[in-house]
Amino acid sequence: MTDSGLAGGIDGDTPEGPRGSWWVQFDPEDEVSGPPYQVQRGTLPGPGGVAQAVARKRVSPADGQAAEDLRAEIEILLTLWHAMERNGPRPDRHRPFRYPDQLVRLIGFSEHGDAPFFLTTSLSHGETLGRRLRRAGPLGADECRRLAASLFHGLYWLQAAEIVHRDLTPENILWDGQTALIFDFSHACWAGAHRPHVEAPPWSTLDPPRADLIADFTEDVSRACWLILHAATGEPPESLRSWRPDADGYWSRGDQQYPDSVPDWSGGSSSVTEPNISTWFPEGFFADVFEPGSPVVAAEMLARLRERRPEHRTRYDPAGMLAGRDRFNGLVKDKEWRRAPVAPSYPPPGRRRAGHSRRRPEPGPGPGPEQPHDEPLSHRQPPPDPYPDLGPGPGPGPVSGDLAMKVIVAIVTIVVFLLVVIVGLGSL
């Protein structure tokens, strides 16, 4: 990767496989985040002269741990791309491969060398939600509802890919007034993975307490609702816990019965009162989302907003999900195999121990054994037959097709013989 001045020539791999090359016009003053990462936004010329907003994220070659974290983020974004290719938004006539507008799309990447990087889509006129709130204060009712709908659409597609973001903050969301673009997947993982809690105060202090270390979708839903309250009220995260609904459903701080005036964001006094959040969203919108072990997911939040559930490219496609997950785990194991100081005890990707066999459990209503996600699809055994042949039993067994045909032919022959005999006797 080379760049000079405001323009940069980037070479790397693409999610489709073949190597690509891009020429990006960067804005050196428009960085989304700081050290140890450098995130620059720019424009990428597209077909027909239409420029596409992009962002490049890279690390310093001297920061080895940040480079490893960036490689893990590349693996998540690459797997998300493959998951959306299989089971993403339904395509239309103009876009055969549609990608959710609320999630960054991986364009190119390189995980080799000491300075990995990746290139993703961005918003041309967007800024981080935190910068927007610091610049102009809380959002209005209509804009806040648009933010909520866009956020939960993005989380819906993340959950369709079985990925948990785990670090939603105002600085990890780009907002242009219409679309909330979720980025920074440095802490993302698979749903159900054992991961320690992401300690990133002050927002991490709002997460409900957990008795285990298993990542699930409710983490993102709860954090998104806190962000919506933050955007609507302008309250800092430390004060959001005091906002609770009263008996009439009015959201306020503590035991206040009437809305109080809030300070003007410009520093002077203001007669603006605290917003009545209950009138901004349907009744029961925030119900149970902040409770420990809440079962509320993004699809239910869209239903509460009376938003139509997005249409998928196909029906639920578990094979597509497994294909993306296999690619993800293959990259992880290949990286560990190449960088291990001594040969690890497990074989490299694509090989299996002698006698090692796994079967994918049949999905059912109850909990079952964990599905294997560390083998390529070519090595997976077919799922069990839902109607197996149980063998001979006390009752009559199944009749083969050849035997049934022989029985029918014998019956027809007997009937014809009897008719001939009867006709012959009648002629006598």
pLDDT attached to residue 121: 92
Beta strand pairing status for 2-4 and 163-164?
unpaired
Highest mean pLDDT among 130-134, 211-215, 351-355, 400-404: 130-134
Task: Give the pLDDT band of residue 325 (cuts 50, 70, 90).
Answer: low
The per-residue pLDDT for range 355-414, each reduced to its tens digit, is 444 444 444 554 444 444 444 434 444 444 444 444 444 444 444 456 777 888 889 999
Phi, psi torsion values for 251, nearest 5 degrees:
-85, 125
Fill in the amino acid letter for 344.
P
Taking a C-beta distance cutoff of 8 angstroms, is the pair 41, 53 a contact?
yes
pLDDT score for 385: 46
| pLDDT tens digits, one per residue of 14-33 | 998 888 899 998 877 666 66
Over 50: is that where the pLDDT of 267 sits?
A: no
Instruction: Using alpha carbons only, give the angle 67, 68, 73 rounded to the nearest 5 degrees.
Output: 95
With contact defined as beta carbons under 8 Å apart, do 79 and 322 qualify?
Answer: no
Tokens 């690390």, residue located: 59
Question: pTM value?
Answer: 0.69
CA–CA gap between residue 68 and residue 114 (Å, rounded) = 9
The rounded percent of the chain whose pLDDT value lies above 90 is 29
CB contact at 8 A, 224 and 180: no
Residue 167 and residue 186: Cα distance in Å, rounded?
8
| 164-190 b/e (C-beta count within 10 Å ≥ 16 → b) | bbbbbbbbbbbbeeebbbbbbbbbbbb
> CA 26 → CA 31, 37, 117, 231, distances in Å?
10, 16, 15, 29
